[in-house]
Structure 1
Amino acid sequence: MPAGIIRGVRHAVVIGGSVGGLLAARALSVAFERVTVLERDDLPEGPAARRGVPQSRQAHALLARGSMVLDELFPGFTSEMLTAGVPTGDLQADCLWYLDGQPMRRARSSMPVYGVTRPLLEHLVRQRVRALPSVTVTDAAEVTGLLHEDPARGGRARDGRVCGVRTVGGTIEADLVVDAGGRASRLPVWLRDLGYGEVPVSTVRTDVVYSTRHYRYDPERIGFAVINAPYPGMPRTGVTVRQENDRVVLFLGGILGEEPPDDDAGVRAFAESLPGPEISDFLRTAEPLGDPVRMRFPASVRRHYERMPRLPRGLVAVGDAVCSFNPIYGQGITVAALQALALARTAGAGRWFTGAARLVDSPWSMATATDLRFPEVEGRRRAVDRPLDAYLRRYRAAAVHDTDLGAAFLRVSNMLAGPGHLLAPGRVLRVLLSPARAGRGPARRRPPVAGRRA
């Protein structure tokens, strides 16, 4: 039994049956005699997109750190993905990265990447969780509030405890409640109504609009992945990733008013405006396998439960219910997996939200610092951001030619190392001595295309 767990704990309830909730259930299955997952949607039997996870139709890939954690939670999970037909590649050798418009030199690395769709990933995780004898996954179950004990009987809620949940069909008692309700989490409202006050929030507004479309994979015409990251002066992004069932997923996105078109001619023109030619060349004769699916993501949002002056015992929140990241960076599933690993070690004992905040600090800082490079992006800037951004511009320019610097950059972006990894003395010296100039110009300029929101 993990340190700090109260003897006699029997039942945990997880609100939300998406990836974050399922991983939380796996984490708690050892310390609790029963774990009940309550999902509002009707869950499919196989790998299929569903209404409650609109991003399930969008582009996904599993970062190296995420795959490692999933293997730790579910031994053999990556082998199971490969058996299901998920293609894999080397993150540095098989993926073409454009950093500030320049193609990064490729090299072999020890970092894998998996081209798995969100529906298949969730299906495989759900199968594993349902096979656990202590876990029950219940769909079509909507949670409407928390059951709350206040020993003061109407007084201050300082010593209060969450003891279950209210659902449309009744109440369910529990020794621990985990909110994995995603971006639409109602937990801040429930806590306010119980007298705990407002949850502090940090917001970085980027107004991301993105679309996804699948095409037939042709190994002669497109590699494992191409990533055109946005940067100041180029508020557009384009990504292709090979996925299961001989498909390639195309992700086109824009920030600060830029929107990818839906028509074929507009999509090709948008791709031609990107720094690299690979995606536009592929699209000239690519065979689409469906229509584009569009989404909007106004802002990255972080809820600071750790700053609350008081919180009830018996309560945990994970995944997007705590922090929802800019989808361009693909961090969400890996962060949820890391939270589950932490939950497995503590089972929510003690000051969960303090530790969870430390876990989120690095990916939040990396994602928001990249967004805040754009002067138009709304968000709090620190005094250190300007000199740090100047160094990272030089770093990216040097990493385009220096494969060791490139590998370190990818380790950080894949959460295999913290941001300080880029500031090691040896790397700082190599960046400062690099003849590469830090610039913002793309490797191949093209005229702008219509696509900006009016």
Structure 2
Amino acid sequence: MKFRAEGHAVVVGAGPAGLFAARALADVFGRVTVVERDDSADGHRRGVPQSGHAHDFLIRGHQIAEQWFPGIGEEMVAGGAHAGDIGRDLRWVIAGRPLVKGESGLSTVVSSRGFRERHLRARVEALPQVTVVGGQDVAGLSFSGDGSVVDGVLLGSDGSRKLSADLVVDASGRGSRTPVWLEEHGHGRVEEEKLKVDVGYATRIVRAPADAFAGDVGINVVASPDSPRGGACQRVEGDRVVVTLYGVLGDHPPTDAEGFNSFAKSLAAPDIYRILEVAEPLSEPRRYRFPASLRRHYERMGSFPRGLLVLGDAVCSLNPRYGQGMAFSAMQALALHDHLREEGEAPQPDAYFRRLAEQAVDPVWGMTLLSDLSFPGVQGERTPETLQVLELVGRTQVAATLDGSLALSCLRVFGLLDPPTALLDPAVQKRVHETLSRQPA
């Protein structure tokens, strides 16, 4: 297998995961080809029905993007996106009360998903090592005679054309066909873990005056066990606003205008409804449904071919109400980058998947499941330790509506900068106790 400067890597999928993967590979391989089944380069891909809904780009993702594409945030702002400090310019409402605001020193850029993808794709296509090819469906993987090595991908509806590669990275999303192809070639079935959440979204685009946001670039009213409805309201390019409402466990927002507004009014805080009251609708509400979080445990497989790696939603697809997807993909691509830079020869799948799990997937998957299990209707194991952690995290979030330092601690965890265990630190819990003790009974 060729490797490093003389090698050729193929990435399946040109979404954020594929684009970040291509950037990681470009530091190692002389040629990188990104194969995307959709022809469009405008960020609106047929295979991504959720693309029109509100999308966060959490601070950890923003940091990785700036590391690999210096100045991309400024470019996006120049094109009409909105920059803001995550502690000062984003409004987080939890259990009906806003987190205390303050300077965090951590900035991000708020935009529509399509706008962000266009900028990421333009930066990736500008890399001399990278070629992005649209309108090409990957019908299968090309395996060596004994099935132990993947040496390319098969293109076209009939798989009649082979694109040879020294490494294939599957970033094709939740609907990845790699599990099927692996089983067909004798590598067994990858173990899957699911948590049913039945989240339903409805989103519409509106035009709202900037002063309606009181200086903020986005508003998040977070669903909680006591109020299992939430929403996000983001100022995106120009004077447009993306308003996304969601409910869990089948309590989904309607898509008629009156029902949509009534659902917004029913949230634990009126912030988003007040925006809708002064907004001009630009689109009808659109629906999206997410049945269950999904994790594929490739790190547990006893047999896996060389020449193939997987990342993004193809490995782990998270409850989208937390807005982690794009940042999570960037974190996984960073794990890929670290693995490739440390391997002297060809990448080893078992070592890669262990790193991916430890560096990115385990902490984020664990945090998402923990939060979902706070909703009584979500089916899953709740050990005494889990219940204790849920109680402590819940108390910390309440205290964060009263104390700026605790608010920043929560935002760092929300933004994937710190693991959720950071909220259990004795010093943090001492401050939580002192803050809540000062409140009248």
Deviation at 1:23, TM superposition (A): 1.3
Deviation at 1:9, TM superposition (A): 5.1
The secondary structure found in structure 1 opposite 2:10 is strand
The secondary structure found in structure 1 opposite 2:212 is coil
Contact kept? 2:60, 2:417, Cα under 8 Å: yes
The secondary structure found in structure 2 opposite 1:409 is helix
Which letter maps to 2:372?
Answer: D
| Structure 1: distance between partners of 2:382 and 2:2 | 39
The secondary structure found in structure 1 opposite 2:220 is strand
Contact kept? 1:397, 1:436, Cα under 8 Å: no
Q: Considering only aligned residues, what root-mean-square deviation do their CA atoms show, in Å?
A: 1.9
Any residues of structure 2 matched to 1:86-165 within 5 Å, and which? 86-150=81-145, 153=146, 160-165=148-153
Query: Residue 197 of structure 1 is aligned with which of 163, 188, 193?
Result: 188
Q: Would the alpha carbon gap of residues 113 and 191 (structure 1) be closer, same or farther in structure 2, given more than 3 Å must change? A: same
Which letter maps to 2:195?
Answer: V
1:368-396 deviations in Å (ceiling 9; x for gaps): 11111112112344442111011111111
Deviation at 1:428, TM superposition (A): 1.3
The secondary structure found in structure 2 opposite 1:183 is coil
Query: Residue 347 of structure 2 is aligned with which of 349, 353, 357?
Result: 349
Contact kept? 2:205, 2:240, Cα under 8 Å: yes
The secondary structure found in structure 2 opposite 1:195 is coil
Contact kept? 1:394, 1:437, Cα under 8 Å: no
Q: Would the alpha carbon gap of residues 264 and 436 (structure 1) be closer, same or farther in structure 2, given more than 3 Å must change? A: farther
1:27 aligns with 2:24: yes
| Counterpart for residue 216 of structure 1 | 207
1:65-87 deviations in Å (ceiling 9; x for gaps): 11110011112111111121110
Any residues of structure 2 matched to 1:282-301 within 5 Å, and which? 282-301=275-294
Q: Would the alpha carbon gap of residues 282 and 146 (structure 1) be closer, same or farther in structure 2, given more than 3 Å must change? A: same
The secondary structure found in structure 2 opposite 1:392 is helix
The secondary structure found in structure 2 opposite 1:395 is helix
The secondary structure found in structure 2 opposite 1:120 is helix
Return 5+ residue gaps in structure 1 as ranges.
439-454
1:258 aligns with 2:258: no
Any residues of structure 2 matched to 1:160-179 within 5 Å, and which? 160-168=148-156, 169-179=160-170
Contact kept? 1:397, 1:437, Cα under 8 Å: no
The secondary structure found in structure 1 opposite 2:289 is strand
| Structure 1: distance between partners of 2:438 and 2:294 | 34
Return 5+ residue gaps in structure 2 as ranges.
341-345
Query: Residue 332 of structure 1 is aligned with which of 325, 330, 334?
Result: 325
1:83 aligns with 2:74: no
| Counterpart for residue 71 of structure 1 | 66
1:41-61 deviations in Å (ceiling 9; x for gaps): 1123xx352212212111113
Query: Residue 317 of structure 1 is aligned with which of 310, 314, 332?
Result: 310
| Counterpart for residue 403 of structure 2 | 402
The secondary structure found in structure 1 opposite 2:211 is coil
The secondary structure found in structure 2 opposite 1:184 is coil
Which letter maps to 2:279?
Answer: A
| Structure 2: distance between partners of 1:399 and 1:371 | 20
| Structure 1: distance between partners of 2:2 and 2:246 | 45
| Counterpart for residue 297 of structure 2 | 304
| Counterpart for residue 448 of structure 1 | none
Deviation at 1:344, TM superposition (A): 2.3
Q: Would the alpha carbon gap of residues 102 and 16 (structure 1) be closer, same or farther in structure 2, given more than 3 Å must change? A: same
Contact kept? 2:4, 2:28, Cα under 8 Å: no
| Counterpart for residue 343 of structure 2 | none
| Structure 1: distance between partners of 2:2 and 2:420 | 33
| Structure 2: distance between partners of 1:7 and 1:141 | 26
Q: Would the alpha carbon gap of residues 116 and 8 (structure 1) be closer, same or farther in structure 2, given more than 3 Å must change? A: closer
1:260-293 deviations in Å (ceiling 9; x for gaps): 1112221221111111112112212310111111
TM-score of the superposed pair, with normalisation by structure 1: 0.90
Moved more, 321-330 or 29-38: 29-38
